[in-house]
Amino acid sequence: MKKSIKIIIFSIFAVLCAVMIALGFYLASIYSKVNKLALDEEKLTSPSLTIEIFDSENKPIKEENTFNHGYIKSASIPDHTKAAFVSIEDKSFYEHSGINYKRIAKAVLNNLKSKSLKEGASTISQQLIKNTHLTSEKTFERKIKEIALAKKLENRFSKEEILEQYLNVIYFGNNCYGIENASNYYFSKSAHDLNLEESALLAGMIKSPNRYSPVSNYTPAFKRRNVVLEEMCKDGIITQDECFSAKNKAIKLNLNTTYKNKLNSYSQAAIDEACKILSLPAKQIALHGFKIYTYQNEEKQKSLEKAISAVDTDGNDNAAIVIDNAHMGVVAYTGESAYKILEAKRQPGSCIKPVLVYAPALNEDIIYPCTQILDEKTTISGYSPKNVSGSFKGYVSAREALSKSINIPAVKVLSYLGIPKAKAYASDMGIEFDEKDDSYALALGGMNYGTNLLSLAGAYSTFANSGVYSSPKFISYITDKNNKIVYIHKKEEKRVLREDASYLLTDMLRTCSQSGTAKKLNELKIDIASKTGTVGKPSSSLNLDAWNISYTNDYTCGCWIGNLDNTPISFVGGNHPTQVVKNYFTYENDNSEFKIPSSIVEKAIDLEELSSNHRVVLANNFTPERYTQNEMFSNFNLPRDISNKFVKIESPEIKSKVSEGKATLTFDAKEYLNYEFYKNGKLISSIKGKEGKSNIEFEMNSNKEKVQIYTSYIGDDRKDLKEIELVNVSKLQKNKWYV
Residue 186 CA to residue 181 CA, distance in Å, equals: 9
For residue 488, what pLDDT is reported? 97
For residue 110, what pLDDT is reported? 58
Percent of the chain at pLDDT > 90 equals: 64
Q: Same CATH topology for 302-588 and 655-733?
A: no
Residue 178 CA to residue 164 CA, distance in Å, equals: 10
pLDDT tens, residue by residue, 325-363: 999 999 999 999 988 899 899 999 999 999 999 999 999
In this predicted model, which residue has the larger pLDDT, 738 or 267? Answer: 267
Fold category of 39-261 in CATH = Penicillin binding protein transpeptidase fold (1.10.3810)
For the chain, count helices (H), then strands (E): 24, 24
Place domain 655-733 in its CATH homologous superfamily.
Immunoglobulins (2.60.40.10)
Cα–Cα distances in Å, from 171 out to 118, 119, 360? 19, 19, 42
For residue 727, what pLDDT is reported? 76
b/e 218-229 (16+ beta carbons within 10 angstroms → b): eebbbebbbbbb
**Residue 148 — very low, low, confident or very high, per pLDDT cuts 50/70/90?**
confident
CB 274 within 8 A of CB 288: no
Go through the chain and tell me how many residues it has: 739
For residue 3, what pLDDT is reported? 67
Q: Which of 117-121, 549-553, 652-656 has the lowest mean pLDDT?
A: 117-121
Residues near 157 by Cβ (< 8 Å), separated by ≥ 6?
44, 165
Query: For the domain 302-588, what is the CATH code?
Result: 3.40.710.10
Helices (H), 118-258: 124-133, 140-156, 159-167, 179-187, 196-205, 218-234, 240-247
- Which uninterrupted H or E stretch holds 15? helix 2-34
What is the DSSP secondary-structure string of 64-85? --EE------GGGS-HHHHHHH
- Compute how many other C-beta atoms are within 10 angstroms of the C-beta atom of residue 615: 15
- Which uninterrupted H or E stretch holds 707? strand 704-713
Residue 405 CA to residue 545 CA, distance in Å, equals: 16
pLDDT at residue 122 is higher than 50? yes
Q: What is the 3-state secondary structure (H, E, C) of 337-384?
A: CCCCHHHCCECCHHHHHHHHHHHHHHHCCCCCCCCEEEECCCCECCEC
Mean pLDDT of 369-398: 94
| 711 phi, psi to nearest 5 deg | -110, 135
pLDDT at residue 483 is higher than 90? yes
- Sign of the alpha-carbon torsion through 573, 579, 584, 585: positive
Percent of the chain at pLDDT > 70 equals: 89
- Sign of the alpha-carbon torsion through 531, 537, 543, 547: negative
For residue 735, what pLDDT is reported? 45
For residue 29, what pLDDT is reported? 61
**Residue 146 — very low, low, confident or very high, per pLDDT cuts 50/70/90?**
confident
pTM: 0.79
**Across all residues in the chain, what is the average pLDDT?**
89
Identity of residue 201? L
Residue 67 CA to residue 61 CA, distance in Å, equals: 16
- Which uninterrupted H or E stretch holds 506? helix 499-515
The domain limits of the chain are 1-36, 39-261, 302-588, 600-634, 655-733
**Residue 732 — very low, low, confident or very high, per pLDDT cuts 50/70/90?**
very low
For residue 167, what pLDDT is reported? 93
Strand order in the sheet with 662-669: 655-659, 662-669, 692-699
CB 153 within 8 A of CB 45: no
Residue 288 CA to residue 133 CA, distance in Å, equals: 9
Cα radius of gyration (the chain): 37
